[in-house]
Protein backbone atom coordinates (compact mmCIF):
# COMPACT_ATOMS: atom_id res chain seq x y z
CA UNK A 1 0.00 0.00 0.00
CA UNK A 2 1.02 3.55 -0.68
CA UNK A 3 2.25 5.09 2.61
CA UNK A 4 0.46 8.34 1.67
CA UNK A 5 -2.87 6.53 1.66
CA UNK A 6 -2.17 4.88 5.00
CA UNK A 7 -1.23 8.24 6.45
CA UNK A 8 -4.45 9.75 5.06
CA UNK A 9 -6.51 6.90 6.51
CA UNK A 10 -5.02 7.20 9.99
CA UNK A 11 -5.23 10.99 9.82
CA UNK A 12 -8.89 10.69 8.89
CA UNK A 13 -9.53 8.27 11.74
CA UNK A 14 -7.87 10.61 14.19
CA UNK A 15 -9.65 13.73 12.96
CA UNK A 16 -13.10 12.14 12.80
CA UNK A 17 -12.50 10.51 16.19
CA UNK A 18 -11.62 13.90 17.68
CA UNK A 19 -14.69 15.54 16.15
CA UNK A 20 -16.89 12.74 17.48
CA UNK A 21 -15.32 12.94 20.92
CA UNK A 22 -15.73 16.73 21.15
CA UNK A 23 -19.34 16.59 20.02
CA UNK A 24 -20.09 13.66 22.32
CA UNK A 25 -18.70 15.52 25.32
CA UNK A 26 -20.61 18.64 24.26
CA UNK A 27 -23.89 16.74 23.99
CA UNK A 28 -23.25 15.00 27.29
CA UNK A 29 -22.62 18.31 29.05
CA UNK A 30 -25.71 19.81 27.43
CA UNK A 31 -27.81 16.86 28.55
CA UNK A 32 -26.43 17.29 32.07
CA UNK A 33 -26.98 21.04 32.16
CA UNK A 34 -30.44 21.01 30.63
CA UNK A 35 -31.60 17.87 32.42
CA UNK A 36 -35.35 17.69 32.99
CA UNK A 37 -36.58 15.94 36.11
CA UNK A 38 -39.05 13.25 35.15
CA UNK A 39 -41.36 11.91 37.78
CA UNK A 40 -40.25 8.26 38.35
CA UNK A 41 -43.86 7.33 39.06
CA UNK A 42 -44.69 7.79 35.33
CA UNK A 43 -42.42 4.86 34.44
CA UNK A 44 -43.80 2.72 37.28
CA UNK A 45 -47.39 3.33 36.24
CA UNK A 46 -46.48 2.54 32.62
CA UNK A 47 -44.92 -0.76 33.74
CA UNK A 48 -48.13 -1.80 35.47
CA UNK A 49 -50.41 -0.88 32.55
CA UNK A 50 -51.17 -3.43 29.85
CA UNK A 51 -49.24 -1.55 27.13
CA UNK A 52 -50.89 -3.00 24.05
CA UNK A 53 -50.56 0.39 22.36
**Distance separating alpha carbons of residues 34 and 8, to the nearest angstrom:** 38
Write down the least CB distance from residue 39 to another protein, Å.
14
Kindly identify the residues of this chain, within the stretch 4-43, that bind another protein according to CB under 8 A.
8, 11-12, 15-16, 19-20, 23, 26-27, 30-31, 34-36
CB atoms within 10 A of CB 53: 4
Residues in the chain: 53
The residue among 6 and 27 lying less far from another protein, judged by its C-beta, is 27
Is 44 a residue that touches another protein (CB under 8 A)? no
Amino acid sequence: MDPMLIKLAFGGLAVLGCIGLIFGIGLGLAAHKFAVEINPKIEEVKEVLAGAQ
